[in-house]
Amino acid sequence: MVELDRYIDYLYPKIITQHHSTDHYIQFWNGSRIWYTGLGDDTRGLASQMGTTIGWFFIDQVEECSEMHFNNLLGRLSLNLKDIKLKYFLTANPMPGWVKMRFIESHPDDFIYIPSLPKDNPYLPENYEEELRAIYPDEIVKAWLDGDWDVMEGGNFLFPYAQIRAAVNRELIVNHIQDSIDNQTLPNWAGVDISREGDDSSVFTVRQGGKVIYTDSWGKTDLMESTGIILQKIERFNIDPKNVNLDAVALGAGIYDRLREQKVYINGIIAGGEPMDKEHYVNSRAEMYDNLRKRFEAGAISIPDDQDLIAQLSSIRFKIASDKKLQIVSKEEMKRTYHLKSPDKSDSLALAFYEPIQRNPSIRWL
């Protein structure tokens, strides 16, 4: 912004009356201001402007910020001036995620998408593309030079975006050997992800066979209230407690204990705990998500047309540990490194499709 200040001052002397670097704004002679801040983990810049109304905003590399931050700015786009045209400008690499889903896949009427490729820039060196093609892998070349960001479905993204989209409202053919001819007789399973902090949500997902039939979320509540919500939903969908998988970490551990006190013996899943298949997975989280990946790959899952769920599934990344076992990037790393919200809905989905070995509950008071 210092460079912008100098640029404007050079072309239009005296137009800028103040540049307040502490409060992050440039003020012009007519009283209008340009506010600027980052949209990463540190949201203090946005918090200081909660009461501000704006006439336009610009986000560079919008795919690197969360949809929550974008919606926060969109809600402030309400400056009331005669003949003002409220608008926003975004730049992005349209890789699979919420940006692609919202602005490219959905084709909103009030939005214009303008692709920009290196070949459109007349000021690049003549050998620019040739050198990139010689240095970088084909996937990166296709994304950077050809604008084919769908190749980013590969690499360390667990779920190919095309498979996620294909699963939306999919009509499943019931396998009469594995399941039942009558889809109504299939048992219901549920996955419950419990919020931990901040803007996280608790999510309850119900599936019947391979079809997600219900999902609901609620904000952070105390242990007793969340326990009551979960009990009500188990009863509503007539779910056998042994078919309910609960994220039993932090507040979830207390909920798990409270349900057991009421003789509701659900499965407490520790994401960082020991998997059933110790040979191939670092922990239970990796095992759950790879099981879910296989469902998408086989076309054996139907999910609702939920933009948050689709974006979260698109953002799940994996690693291969030094011992060659599969590892899923943790929630904490997703927030810290990629500035993404906690994937509460996708975690709940993975829990719902996980079928752990049934064990008799331990009696803790002995």
Helix (H, G, I), strand (E, B) or coil at 107: coil
Mean pLDDT for all residues in the chain: 83
Query: Quick one: pLDDT at residue 180?
Result: 46
Residue 130 lies in a domain: no
Which residue ranges in the chain fall short of pLDDT 50? 41-42, 175-182, 359-366
b/e 351-363 (16+ beta carbons within 10 angstroms → b) = bbbbebeeeeeee
- Phi and psi based region of residue 224 (left: phi greater than 0; alpha: psi -120 to 50; beta: remaining): alpha
Q: Which amino acid makes up residue 28?
A: F
- Asked whether residue 244 is domain-assigned, the answer is yes
d(CA 295, CA 44): 41
Q: φ, ψ for residue 285 (rounded to 5)?
A: -60, -45
Could you give the CA distance from residue 34 to residue 28 in angstroms, rounded to a whole number?
A: 8
Indicate the number of domains in the chain.
1
pLDDT, residue 162, reads 78
- Show Cβ contacts of residue 235 under 8 Å, excluding neighbours closer than 6 positions: none
CATH number of the domain where residue 309 is located: 3.30.420.240
Beta partners for residue 29, in sequence order: none
**Which whole-number Å values give the CA distances from 83 to 86, 177, 260, 325, 349, in the listed order?**
9, 66, 62, 60, 47
Distances (CA, A) of 1 to 10, 21, 22, 82: 14, 9, 12, 28
The pLDDT assigned to 135 comes to 57
Is the residue at 323 inside a domain? yes
Residue pair 338/157 in contact (Cβ under 8 Å)? The answer is no
Instruction: Write down the pTM of the prediction.
Output: 0.61
Among candidate residues 81, 38, 20, 39, the one with its CA nearest the CA of residue 56: 81
- Position 132 scores a pLDDT of 74
User: Is 174 domain-assigned?
Assistant: yes
The answer to whether residue 326 is domain-embedded is: yes
Q: What is the CA radius of gyration of the chain?
A: 24
Give pLDDT, residue 269.
96
Q: Residue 327 is which amino acid?
A: Q
Instruction: Give the C-alpha separation, 303 to 209, whole Å.
Output: 12
* 342 token code pair: 């906690």
Q: What is the spatial distance between Cα 12 and Cα 6, in angstroms, rounded to a whole number? A: 10
Question: What's the token pair of residue 292?
Answer: 């879910």
| Contact in structure between 249 and 274 (CB atoms under 8 Å) | no
- Strands in 25-28's sheet, in edge-to-edge order, are 16-20, 25-28, 33-35
CA distance 55 to 294: 46
Residue pair 188/235 in contact (Cβ under 8 Å)? The answer is no
In a domain, residue 62? The reply is no
Q: Which range of residues forms the domain containing residue 250? A: 161-352
Tell me, what's the pLDDT at 352?
98
Question: Is residue 80 within 8 Å of residue 294, measured between CB atoms?
Answer: no
pLDDT of residue 357: 67
In a domain, 207, yes or no: yes
Classify residue 144: in a domain, yes or no.
Answer: no
Alpha-carbon distance 191 to 266, whole Å? Answer: 10
